Amino acid sequence: MVKPPPKSPIKVSPKPPPMPSSKPLEKFGLHPRNRHRGRYDFPKLAMALPVLNTFLVANPFDPNEQTIDFANPEAVKTLNAALLKMFYKIQYWDIPPHYLCPPIPGRADYLHQMADLLASSNQGVVPRGPAIHVLDVGVGANCIYPIIGQHEYGWHFLGTDIDPVAINAAQQIVNTNAGLASAIELRLQTSTQQIFDYVLKSEADELFDFVICNPPFHASLHAAQVGSYRKWKNLSKGNESETEVVNFNAPPALNFGGQGTELWCDGGEVGFVSRMIEESVERPQQCFWFSALISKEANLPLIYAALKQAKALKVKTIDMAQGQKKSRIVAWSFLNEDEVSAWRNVHWQ
């Protein structure tokens, strides 16, 4: 009897390692003091705000991790509320339907960069406390800049906006959270053609250490609709972004309601910032640093030309990286060195 040949041992292929997440453990480009340099810790955020559990889903890049659908405006809004509660002690935060939901890491970065700009004129020390006054042009319904700046540095904020609904929503946030009412003032700008005039007091009565502004990016409603639709499509494909997410419940190209001023204005961001520069010339001693966030690099030459015509004594450009989006702060000042020293000695000591 012929014995069958011995069976070859069955070779078991080693289990392939889990597919690594395509996202880095740390968000590169953010300021060292930014609390959001790491990836979102969704379990901890859900502990801070349990309603976030409603929106948690498996991460398509790593089934062992959780995330949210960044194309879902309610999920993004709830994530923001959780971030503000966990990192900035904000117990209540909400925005009306169809208003922009801001990217908190990028907003925080703007403030940290401006803090460093102040420090550069103060022997490297960031001025802190309520004696530092900040003007937020276009504070919006979300009130993000004043919330973060007050918590991180104790600064006092004045937020202005042309939208009464936005002002009322921001005021509700201020009134509902302990400690904000004494640190944040909100004013309605009654002129759609002016930025500083009609809403600010005179230089003798009101001074600001710096101005921040996220100007409307688009030059028309149509351009805003096209841009937001493209952004929505990218987010629907799982492309998380640190750019604004439009908080809408209908297709984005069809639903802007009365919030177009958050997204567009005549001339786009160049037109808006140019008007800021023109008005800053009329009140050069009222603010130590004027600044605006410029989204499109191609717009910089026109901004620089306007600043040259305005005869700004100092112009600074600060590059920022917010996820996939790159932008920069352009800041300008009309103060000479003697005036800088006097400002520092009077206001920052």
Q: What token pair was written down for 254?
A: 């069809």
Q: Which residues contact 213 (CB under 8 A, 6 or more apart)?
A: 136, 137, 138, 272, 273, 276, 291, 292, 293
**For residue 217, what pLDDT is reported?**
53
Position of tokens 């997410």? 245
Residue 227: which of 200, 180, 262, 194 has the closest Cα?
Answer: 262
Q: Which helix (H) or strand (E) holds 282?
A: none
Q: What token pair was written down for 315?
A: 């112009």
Q: What token pair was written down for 275?
A: 């008007």
Instruction: Give per-residue burial for 266-304: e unless 16+ CB within 10 Å, then b.
Output: ebbbbbbbbbbbebbeebbebbbbbbbbbbeeebeebbe
**For residue 268, what pLDDT is reported?**
74
Q: Which helix (H) or strand (E) holds 331?
A: strand 325-333
**For residue 155, what pLDDT is reported?**
98
Each of the 349 residues of the chain gets a pLDDT tens digit; together they read 445 545 444 344 444 444 444 455 666 689 999 999 998 999 999 999 999 999 999 998 888 899 999 889 999 999 999 999 999 999 999 999 988 889 999 999 999 999 999 999 999 999 999 999 999 999 999 999 999 999 999 999 999 999 999 999 999 999 999 999 999 999 999 998 899 999 999 988 999 999 999 998 534 444 444 444 455 455 445 444 444 444 444 444 332 333 445 444 455 789 999 999 999 999 999 999 999 999 889 999 999 999 999 999 999 999 997 666 789 999 999 999 999 999 999 999 7
Give the predicted TM-score (pTM) of the model.
Answer: 0.82
Q: Could you tell me the fold of the domain covering 98-220+256-347?
A: Rossmann fold (3.40.50)
Position of tokens 């201020």? 174
Residue 297: which of 260, 330, 261 has the closest Cα?
Answer: 330
Domain ranges of the chain: 98-220+256-347
- Tell me if residue 69 falls in helix, strand or coil: coil
